[in-house]
Structure 1
Amino acid sequence: MELTPERLVAQLGQGPLRPVYLIAGPETLRVLEAADAVRTRAREQGYAEREVFEPEGRDIDWNALEATLRAPSLFAARRVIEIRLPTTRPGKDGAAAITAFCDAPPDDILLLVTGGEWSRQHGGKWSEAIGRVGQIAVAWGVKPHEMPDWIERRLRSRGVSADRNAVQRLADRVEGNLLAAAQEIDKLALLAEGATLDTARMEDLVADAARFDVFRLVDAALSGQAAQAVRMLAGLRAEGEAVPALMGMVVMELQRAAALARVQARGGNLAAEFRAQRVWDSKQAVYTRALQRHPAPRWEQFLAAAGRIDRIAKGRAPGDAWQALERLLVAVAEPRAARVMG
């Protein structure tokens, strides 16, 4: 039976863990939090060792995974083996490995499979095998009319009370962005001081989401949201920001993506590079999707374009810096915009 991530989390404390879990879907925050809950519960039940398998280059080393599943642990009696599939498509070899595990799951291993996409086309015999012995949770995007209820539940979970108008105001501010909503709610938990929030107090405490900051701007481009990035850039310009003030973060993120792309292109250890670049788990899916859109040479072109924009903004080269930056962000977000930078 397909569960919501929240329902899965609620069931984790109601008995022993299942041998395998599949958590996937387009809403990254819900996937990450449900997977974290599984890991936490596993540690509580004595799963002291954890090993992660994710694509290095084009695919996971499924032979190494199968060897790990067969080998006894050197350090712990019970282990969590985690498979990260950005596209939630294990391929023929991966599907066979997962199905074989589900046919005879060992007592000392919990298999956790996570993915960033899901539809009927993603499933198959491998996911059916998971459903027979484990649990499947799909993190669909929260619809606009569902957002206030999601926010209200999360506020309560953080010990914050707000009236319905205040909840709706926060929903309007974050514009469907669950991560932004979660960040604002965490701030409110520190600032609300036990009082029930009305609309006026919510306005005082919550940062105006219309003032799009550069972090969200770059995230939108990396996530493939071209229209959102353009709108955010217009918001920053309207707020009086200057292009040179934005370029430091833009260049830093492009440098990070370029370094990851180089490692991926040569078939290196992308997980190790994520650690070296200090990319948090919650942000890795964003970079992974971005790397799937463009080859390594393209990221070098993006960096070169960013350098030109910085020179334009500082009066050292001709051109419109705002227009050039918009074109760069659209090119990062949209593969079909390969020639927009000129």
Structure 2
Amino acid sequence: MSWNLAQLDRHLREAKALATAYLIAGEEHLLVLEAADRVRARAKALGFSERQVLDAESGFDWDELARAGASLSLFASQRLIDLRMPGGKPGNDGSEAIQQFCATAPPDTCLLITCTTWGKAHEGKWVQAIERAGGYLPIWPLRREDLDGWIAERARSRSVQLSGDAVAAIAERVEGNLLAAAQEIDKLKLLMPDARIDAPTVVQVMADSARYDVFSLVDAALVGDAARVVRVLRGLKAEGEMVPGLMGWFLTQLQALVRLSQLAPSQQAAALPQERIYGPRQQIVRKALARGDRAFWEQRLREAAEVDRLGKGRGTGDAYLAFERLLLRIADRRKFGAL
């Protein structure tokens, strides 16, 4: 049977016994981990007192799965075989071993397989065997338009009271990283357990979580604070951050500025929410737009593409120096435009 997360939860709540096999697979690692944890917790509650972990990396001997399924429990108890297969491709031997297990597993043994690389091409006869014997839960990447809803639901489940703009602020900053979003919600619960939390509070808490971060770096450039640009960027470099890891958020904001610069000034304010720019950041972006026209921002975007290329080793030059120069041009085009 193929399930979604809600169906798995319902099955685990209602099941008086576990199925023979479960497959939880997807590239949203947090969701895969948490779903697998719920299966393990239910197994423990149902009396599965033994757990055997198998890591099916390259070179794994698939006879180990057959031996695990055939061997008697040391304590005559129920046993969970926890098979971790990150690549999601068992090969011919693995496929045969999994199908054989599903067909012949003893009633006191359950197989849980987790995969953190997944796509339609991974599905094969072994997945069909698991569907017949138990449950298959594919976890597909969360769509950007669904992220706000996921954050809001996650916060509610942990009794964290977020306003709508606070949800949007978290979504804006984590850029689709569910683990980062979950960590921020947990941090807010710890710091403000009974408060109604708005967007400025979220921004402040997230900024306070690290001395240097790419969010404050980009905002420093947009408000024209050249000295802070240099300080934050050099701090990030000292902490071991690499240029490619900083470019994602920066490029997202730069692309938004290019689109906004194509509008008449009278239309820009109304378009800010469409670019997911809310609260105090609207003033930051308006300041930046006042310092450059469409040609200015398009040129900065071309320069950013070159910085990204250097950061990935596809050219000659110092990526950090090129990035610093680009940010300084944004911060003060008159002083640093000739860099």
| Correspondence 1:1-342 to 2 at 5 A | 1-15=1-15, 16-56=17-57, 58-207=58-207, 239-242=232-235, 245-247=238-240, 320=318, 322=320
Q: Partner letter of residue 154 of structure 1?
A: R
Aligned partners of 2:169, 2:233: CA distance in 1, in Å?
25
Deviation of 1:36 (Å): 0.8
- Unaligned 5+ segments in structure 1 are 215-234, 251-318, 325-342
Q: Is the 2:212–2:235 contact (alpha carbons within 8 Å) kept by the matching residues of 1?
A: no
Rg larger in structure: 2
Percent of aligned positions with the same letter in both sequences?
43
| CA separation of 1:244 and 1:64: change in aligned 2, threshold 3 A | same
Deviation of 1:55 (Å): 3.2
Q: Is the 2:212–2:236 contact (alpha carbons within 8 Å) kept by the matching residues of 1?
A: no
Q: Is the 2:212–2:232 contact (alpha carbons within 8 Å) kept by the matching residues of 1?
A: no
Aligned partners of 1:243, 1:163: CA distance in 2, in Å?
31
For the aligned residue pairs, the C-alpha RMSD in angstroms reads: 3.0
Deviation of 1:59 (Å): 2.7
Q: Partner letter of residue 165 of structure 2?
A: N
Q: Partner letter of residue 47 of structure 1?
A: F
Aligned partners of 2:189, 2:229: CA distance in 1, in Å?
27
Aligned partners of 1:188, 1:7: CA distance in 2, in Å?
29
Q: Partner letter of residue 61 of structure 2?
A: D
The superposition leaves residues 83-133 of structure 1 with CA deviations (integer Å, 9 ceiling, x where unpaired) of 111111111111111111212331111100110122222111111111112
Q: Is the 2:69–2:105 contact (alpha carbons within 8 Å) kept by the matching residues of 1?
A: no
Deviates more, 1:151-160 or 1:238-247: 238-247
TM-score (norm 1): 0.62
| CA separation of 1:86 and 1:237: change in aligned 2, threshold 3 A | farther
Deviation of 1:47 (Å): 0.7
What secondary structure sits across from 2:172 in the alignment? helix
The superposition leaves residues 157-177 of structure 1 with CA deviations (integer Å, 9 ceiling, x where unpaired) of 111121212111111111111
Deviation of 1:207 (Å): 3.4
| CA separation of 1:321 and 1:146: change in aligned 2, threshold 3 A | closer
What secondary structure sits across from 2:83 in the alignment? strand
| CA separation of 1:210 and 1:168: change in aligned 2, threshold 3 A | farther
Q: Is the 1:31–1:139 contact (alpha carbons within 8 Å) kept by the matching residues of 2?
A: yes
Q: Is the 2:80–2:111 contact (alpha carbons within 8 Å) kept by the matching residues of 1?
A: yes
Q: Partner letter of residue 182 of structure 1?
A: A
Deviates more, 1:188-197 or 1:202-211: 202-211
Deviation of 1:60 (Å): 1.8
Aligned partners of 2:33, 2:318: CA distance in 1, in Å?
40
Deviation of 1:5 (Å): 3.2
Aligned partners of 1:112, 1:74: CA distance in 2, in Å?
20
Question: 2:273 — aligned with what?
Answer: none
Q: Is the 1:26–1:140 contact (alpha carbons within 8 Å) kept by the matching residues of 2?
A: yes
Q: Is the 2:166–2:197 contact (alpha carbons within 8 Å) kept by the matching residues of 1?
A: yes
Q: Is the 2:21–2:110 contact (alpha carbons within 8 Å) kept by the matching residues of 1?
A: yes
Aligned partners of 1:6, 1:43: CA distance in 2, in Å?
20
What secondary structure sits across from 2:142 in the alignment? coil
| CA separation of 1:238 and 1:245: change in aligned 2, threshold 3 A | closer
Deviation of 1:82 (Å): 1.4
Q: Partner letter of residue 239 of structure 2?
A: L
Q: Is the 2:70–2:105 contact (alpha carbons within 8 Å) kept by the matching residues of 1?
A: no
What secondary structure sits across from 1:52 in the alignment? strand
Q: Is the 2:86–2:117 contact (alpha carbons within 8 Å) kept by the matching residues of 1?
A: yes
| CA separation of 1:207 and 1:48: change in aligned 2, threshold 3 A | farther
| CA separation of 1:10 and 1:237: change in aligned 2, threshold 3 A | farther
Question: 2:281 — aligned with what?
Answer: none
| CA separation of 1:321 and 1:204: change in aligned 2, threshold 3 A | closer
Aligned partners of 1:96, 1:236: CA distance in 2, in Å?
57
Aligned partners of 1:184, 1:119: CA distance in 2, in Å?
29
Aligned partners of 1:212, 1:6: CA distance in 2, in Å?
38
Deviation of 1:28 (Å): 0.8
Q: Is the 2:50–2:79 contact (alpha carbons within 8 Å) kept by the matching residues of 1?
A: yes
| CA separation of 1:212 and 1:150: change in aligned 2, threshold 3 A | farther
